[in-house]
Amino acid sequence: MMPFCHVPARNPLGIHSFCLLLLFAASLFGKVPVAVKVRDTAIIPCNETCNGILLWDLKTKNENLDVFRCAQGTCTEGDSFKNRVSISEKFKAGNLSLKLYPVLYNDEGWYEVLCDSKFLCRFHLEVFVPNTVNATIGSNVTLPCYARTEKRIADDAVNVLWKKDDQIVLQVQKGITNHGSSFTGRASVSLPHYKDGDLSLNISWVTMADKGLYRCYHNTEEEHGDPGAVTLNVKAHQTFSAKKFGDNLTLDLFGSDPVTVTFTSSTETLVCSVKGNAAECSPEYTNRVSVVNYSLVLGSLTSADGGTFTVKDKMGEVININTVTVGVTQRYYYVAPSVLAGFVLSCICLFFCCHRTSQTNANESTEDTEPLREPACIGLSQQETSPNIAEESDDYAHTPVEETMPMMMTSEKQDNTEEEESISPLE
C-alpha cells in the first residue's frame, strides 16, 4: 500500500518535496485523474492481475471505505456502494478495472487496489456538477468561472487553464496565452477581469464542434475555479424568410465543410452536397445554385420553394434551419400598419359623426315630443288629466273663456248698432 506523506516533522522542506514527488508518482501510476459528472458512469482503470484476495477501497479526507472485495470466488460490495459497483469477471487476466454507476457526489477521492494487501493501483476520481450554457451556432458565448485571485498580481504571474474533453482550449501561463488548434483567435480570457476573480472563457463564432464539457483551472490542474465545469450546448441557427417570386435565398453554411442541404415540404429531399466551393445538386437545383462566401445561394425562387431548408454538417448535426414562404411580398409588411392606422382613424371619425347625429336627433325628438303629449289625452278634460292642477286653479282655467267670449260678442253688437245708426238717417 502506498503510504501518504509521512516523513519526520523536523524537516518541513523535506515534507514538501516528498509530497510533490509522491503526487508525481501517483500521477504516473494513475496517468490522469478521472473526472466524472455526478450521476454518470465512472470506469476506474487498473490493468493488473490478482490471484489472491482483491480489495478496492476509497480514501477521502475523513474516511477509509471498502468499495469492492473478492475472495475465493465470492465478491461483495461495500455498504456505501451497494448495487453500484462491478468488476470484470476476467479480473485475474490483467483487468481489475472498476465500474461505478451512478456516481454520487461523495464518491470523490483516491481509489486503491490491493491484492493480498499488496498495492497494485491508485487512481483519483473527481466528481463535479457542471453548469449548462446554451448558445446558437455562429453566436458569441461566455462560460463562467470564478476564483480567489490577487487584485494586484502582475500580468506575467497569471495562470489560467481551460480544457474541453481533456484537450487544451486556452492556457495563460506567466501572462503568455496559448490556444488549442480549433480555438485560435476565437477563445480569450480577460486579464483585467482575472484580477477581479473572473476567469470566464469567451468564445466567438460558436460552431457545432464546440459543444461539450469545459473545465476551468486556476494556477494548476489541482486547483479548480467555480464552477469547475461547464457544459456548452450548441443549437442550430433558425430563420424565417418571406420572399417574392424570382428572389434569391442565401443559406449560411457557418464555415462547416462538408455539408448537406435538404428541403422539406411534405417529404425531405436532397438539395445539394457542398464541399469547399463545389456543390453537387439534384437535377431540379443544378442550374439555380451557387456557393458564395461560405453560403449556398438558391436563385429564381418559385412557389414550389416554400418550405424548410436544413443544413447539416459532416456528423449529421443540424446547423441551420431556414423556413421560407414565397409569394408574400415584402411590401405587405409595410402597408399593414398604414392600413391599420387608416382603419382606426375611420372608426374615430365614424364615432364622432354618429355621436353628433345622435345628439341632434335627441334634441329634435325632445322638441317634438313636448306638443305630442297633448294628443295622448284626447277625449279627457283637463280635470281628468291633471286633477291636482284643476283643484288648485279651477277658476283660472275657466276665466279666459268666460271673459273672452262676451267681449267678442259685445264688440260685434256695438259695431252692428253703429252701422244701423249710420244708415238710419239716409233712409
pLDDT computed for residue 388 by the predictor: 46
Output the nine-digit C-alpha cell for 214.
Answer: 469545459
- Say if residues 70 and 91 touch (Cβ distance below 8 Å): yes
Do 72 and 98 sit in the same domain of this protein?
A: yes
Say if 244 falls within a structural domain. Answer: yes
Q: Among 77, 93, 128, give the residue marking a domain's end.
A: 128
Output the nine-digit C-alpha cell for 424.
Answer: 238710419
Strand partners, 239: 322
Q: Are strands 289-292 and 237-243 parallel, antiparallel or unpaired?
A: unpaired
Do 168 and 181 sit in the same domain of this protein?
A: yes
CA distance 285 to 299: 9
CA distance 139 to 103: 34
CATH code, domain with 79: 2.60.40.10
Do 172 and 215 sit in the same domain of this protein?
A: yes
- Say if residues 59 and 112 touch (Cβ distance below 8 Å): yes
Say if 367 falls within a structural domain. Answer: no
CA-to-CA separations, 296 to 136, 259, 277, in angstroms, rounded: 20, 10, 9
Q: Please report, as a single letter, which amino acid is at residue 68.
A: F
Provide the domain count of the chain: 4
Chain-centroid distance, C-alpha 108: 33
Residue 92 banded pLDDT, cuts 50, 70, 90:
low
Say if 353 falls within a structural domain. Answer: no
- 254: exposed, middle or buried (Cβ count in 10 Å: 0-12, 13-18, 19+): buried
Residues 169-195 have a mean pLDDT of 91
pLDDT computed for residue 141 by the predictor: 97
Do 175 and 207 sit in the same domain of this protein?
A: yes
pLDDT computed for residue 380 by the predictor: 44
Say if 411 falls within a structural domain. Answer: no
Q: Among 295, 326, 357, give the residue marking a domain's end.
A: 326
Do 249 and 198 sit in the same domain of this protein?
A: no
- Whether the pLDDT of residue 376 is over 60: the answer is no
Close Cβ partners of 70 (under 8 Å, ≥ 6 residues apart) = 53, 54, 76, 87, 91
Do 254 and 229 sit in the same domain of this protein?
A: no
Say if 396 falls within a structural domain. Answer: no
- Whether the pLDDT of residue 94 is over 90: the answer is no
Q: Are strands 54-59 and 42-44 parallel, antiparallel or unpaired?
A: unpaired
Strand partners, 413: none
CA distance 296 to 259: 10
- Whether the pLDDT of residue 379 is over 60: the answer is no
The whole-chain average pLDDT of the chain stands at 78
Identify which of 171, 168, 146 has the alpha carbon closest to the alpha carbon of residue 158.
171
Do 320 and 254 sit in the same domain of this protein?
A: yes
Residues 215-230 have a mean pLDDT of 86
Say if 293 falls within a structural domain. Answer: yes
Strands (E), 196-304: 201-203, 212-218, 224-235, 237-243, 249-252, 259-264, 268-275, 278-281, 289-292, 295-298
CA-to-CA separations, 364 to 357, 358, 370, 375, in angstroms, rounded: 11, 10, 10, 19
- Whether the pLDDT of residue 385 is over 50: the answer is no
What's the residue count for the chain? 427
Do 287 and 214 sit in the same domain of this protein?
A: no
Give the tens place of pLDDT for each residue, 267-289. 999 999 999 989 999 999 999 99
Q: Among 93, 128, 163, give the residue marking a domain's end.
A: 128
CA distance 186 to 143: 13
pTM of the full structure: 0.59
CA distance 173 to 188: 13
Residue 401 banded pLDDT, cuts 50, 70, 90:
very low
Do 285 and 256 sit in the same domain of this protein?
A: yes
The dihedral of CA 357, 358, 360, 365: what is its sign? positive
Do 220 and 252 sit in the same domain of this protein?
A: no
Say if 164 falls within a structural domain. Answer: yes
pLDDT computed for residue 95 by the predictor: 85
Do 252 and 312 sit in the same domain of this protein?
A: yes
The domain of 70 spans 31-128
Say if 358 falls within a structural domain. Answer: no
CA distance 299 to 307: 15
Residues 346-372 have a mean pLDDT of 60
Do 95 and 167 sit in the same domain of this protein?
A: no
